[in-house]
Structure 1
């Protein structure tokens, strides 16, 4: 049996060797975009299902972690080979509750990735953690295994709200785990806070946010509750057991919250994400910039252009949802990809627009041209009367930098896309479909 610490050292040694080799090349050059990607690893198990969650997760009773680990390693190797990816820019262990896994599993996956591709020693490697599944000693062991950033599912500092959400931790548990995490991973701890819950009020929620600001690190995410069909909360609201969340109150919480965070020195670099001291999530930034990413594990999603004859278009991939079936497919075929869809040129541009506008940078002219070299942002949006109205209302900006939302526009992005996406589709139809690089 290989100890997690030894595996982590092997990964770090492999990364350091690759880095030294790169430095000694006569004419070093960065990997082309098609050869770089982020990697998402889905751990599907949880202690229990939270009342609001409809993610692909299963209660961890009798799960064979060694078998899951072997399949994660196998699938990572296979997809790295199929994608032709030569450098992994970030790794994110999500779920489910990946902090229920052993550090040995994390180390094994990272070692496999480092053997199959260039994984720099300073790569951002994030683990999602719940307070009750991540005591201090285990967090330290994850650090030894290669984790260098934590995302803590805190969600609330109110006991009644935590019980409503079906969380297994208390506010005290959350704050203790946060303090331990900041000690082990200073400057690299993110926390989630939810808003828009049934019966939630603006004032008490803002006091939670202020309390969190007194003890949080440099990254914070604000997520509005979405009632998902099939969840306990959805059923309770439908049956009248709980009142439906008030969308106007939720909007007020969001506006007040982002103002508080701005005054505290946080940059709202994405609709739901705030950072100070440069602590942006490298991994999530790849999503918003429509970079390539590989998804391994049950139900994981990926976007990449496979290598090989005739393989030029980027593909949207979804792995098999149910863990046992996924493992059977991985053992048979090397991966458990259940659905694979080639993205058309217009579909890819729609993603570039919708994802890029989620950020404060928006879609720069240079970034747009990487995906559409013939039709500029001015060509698509410059002559539109509808877009001009949004510019005059100071919800959008279109200038020498590119297209982006204003501070006010970022809060109503969904409504803006109702104008922008049809405008893109119309412009595309008028000029005919050119070739667009998929990777």
Structure 2
């Protein structure tokens, strides 16, 4: 779930300036809507090697017990789908880690189990993240036969020096070969990931790389600004002075140039980091941004769903045990490896709806907001705010009969806008609570 991880990385430094109660709530990044359908995320925790920038929950292992991992993912799928009592799975996303390292038979067996436990309609979006080194032509064809109908390829860069810097174990030529084969097998349903803001990268080199790639890509592109994560080798190299990051003005210009180049090439920016043409939006990621509930399977996976067997809980965030061997022991013992459960308040949910919904170009409609808070409208929260009025006057934000959304200019600075909007939400909520108590 790269988009959510990147959002967390960008916001956390700024959130240190927000009062603790707000900061605590903002770090919960996965939304939920209480209904009988859900998206489903499957985490494959293994990689061939750890990239220099990555701090995701992944493990390097030469002796992966594929049958045991498959059996545990199947068991956890059965348990959590039954616990949620969802009747329909709206999308499936195999992420990681490197799920293209999994056996296609494993992927097929997991999908068969899901379809036995809930309705998985024909044509439902089923995405698999793939790295070029673990996704040759024959393997991609096997994944397609197993039920995968959309690929997300970690291209990251077409510059071999940049790929080496990032710790990737593929070269640009391998990425292009994988992309070409993926387009043949999954036409219109192949996405690529690209990273910008790399050490030593210039606006010119970034633009040249993007212009070279776009004529070769399919109908979906995801752009991510490099974030230095503590504990990674890239973080260490930069902070010890061995590598120099581009300044923030240059990084902002890279993003702005990319947006215009993609727009000129026929792509529509439907979310901060995601661009699509010919209607090739990611249904799975849209479910996150729209606040739909989802089930997370596998080590370290996050989920948001209503546990229907517990009448005391209406909304719940779940995190699965991180370490694969420990997670498998828990699944074998209890049917699932959930390590942490957190009941969410109405305010928690509204913060998530605001933070994730504004990532989309369409923003948050009044009807959508009222699904989560029927008696506390967008007008109630933001209608009289002087800060919001100022953002509107600066052409960064719209609040009108359609709802609340960012302008084209506002999307580029959403992290800054959110600090104001979330503070306003907290203030309006506190005033509402005080009125209800008569104070």
Residues 364 and 403 of structure 2 are in contact (CA less than 8 Å); yes or no, is this contact kept in structure 1? Answer: yes
Partner of 1:257: 258
Partner of 1:85: 86
Change in CA separation of 1:329 and 1:84 when aligned onto 2, cut-off 3 Å? same
Residues 198 and 246 of structure 1 are in contact (CA less than 8 Å); yes or no, is this contact kept in structure 2? Answer: no
Q: Deviations over 1:287-334 (max 9, x none)?
A: 001110100000000011110242442111110000000000000000
Residues 222 and 275 of structure 2 are in contact (CA less than 8 Å); yes or no, is this contact kept in structure 1? Answer: yes
Q: In structure 2, the residue corresponding to 1:347 is in which secondary structure?
A: helix
Partner of 1:109: 110
1:351 is the counterpart of 2:345: no
Partner of 2:320: 319
Aligned counterparts of 1:434 and 1:74: Cα–Cα separation in 2: 48
Partner of 1:374: 375
Q: In structure 2, the residue corresponding to 1:166 is in which secondary structure?
A: coil
Change in CA separation of 1:358 and 1:412 when aligned onto 2, cut-off 3 Å? same
Q: Deviations over 1:27-73 (max 9, x none)?
A: xxxxx961010000000000000000000000121110000000000
Aligned counterparts of 2:225 and 2:120: Cα–Cα separation in 1: 34
Q: In structure 1, the residue corresponding to 2:35 is in which secondary structure?
A: helix
Partner of 1:24: none
Q: In structure 2, the residue corresponding to 1:34 is in which secondary structure?
A: coil
1:56 is the counterpart of 2:57: yes
After TM superposition, list the pairs within 5 Å mapping 1:196-235 onto structure 2.
196-235=197-236
Tell me how far 1:393 sits from its aligned partner. 0.2
Q: In structure 2, the residue corresponding to 1:268 is in which secondary structure?
A: strand
Q: In structure 2, the residue corresponding to 1:71 is in which secondary structure?
A: helix
Aligned counterparts of 2:303 and 2:54: Cα–Cα separation in 1: 21
Residues 345 and 433 of structure 1 are in contact (CA less than 8 Å); yes or no, is this contact kept in structure 2? Answer: no
Q: Report which stretch shifted further, 422-431 or 164-173.
A: 422-431
Aligned counterparts of 1:306 and 1:359: Cα–Cα separation in 2: 28
Q: In structure 2, the residue corresponding to 1:81 is in which secondary structure?
A: helix
1:268 is the counterpart of 2:269: yes
5+ residue gaps, structure 1: 1-31
**Higher RCO (C-alpha under 8 Å, 6+ residues apart):** 2
Q: In structure 1, the residue corresponding to 2:415 is in which secondary structure?
A: helix
Q: In structure 1, the residue corresponding to 2:119 is in which secondary structure?
A: coil
Partner of 1:96: 97
Change in CA separation of 1:433 and 1:372 when aligned onto 2, cut-off 3 Å? farther
1:393 is the counterpart of 2:394: yes
Tell me how far 1:248 sits from its aligned partner. 1.4
Residues 202 and 246 of structure 2 are in contact (CA less than 8 Å); yes or no, is this contact kept in structure 1? Answer: no
Corresponding residue pairs, total: 404
Partner of 1:168: 169
Aligned counterparts of 1:359 and 1:68: Cα–Cα separation in 2: 35
Aligned counterparts of 2:346 and 2:85: Cα–Cα separation in 1: 21
1:291 is the counterpart of 2:258: no
RMSD: 1.3
Aligned counterparts of 1:309 and 1:319: Cα–Cα separation in 2: 19
Residues 305 and 311 of structure 1 are in contact (CA less than 8 Å); yes or no, is this contact kept in structure 2? Answer: no
Residues 37 and 89 of structure 1 are in contact (CA less than 8 Å); yes or no, is this contact kept in structure 2? Answer: yes
After TM superposition, list the pairs within 5 Å mapping 1:26-41 onto structure 2.
34-41=35-42
Aligned counterparts of 1:192 and 1:50: Cα–Cα separation in 2: 14
Structure 1 residue runs of 4 or more that deviate by more than 6 Å after TM superposition: none
Q: Deviations over 1:79-135 (max 9, x none)?
A: 001111110000000000000011001001100000000000110000000001000
Partner of 1:423: 424
Q: In structure 2, the residue corresponding to 1:380 is in which secondary structure?
A: helix
Tell me how far 1:204 sits from its aligned partner. 1.2
Tell me how far 1:433 sits from its aligned partner. 9.1
Aligned counterparts of 1:53 and 1:314: Cα–Cα separation in 2: 30
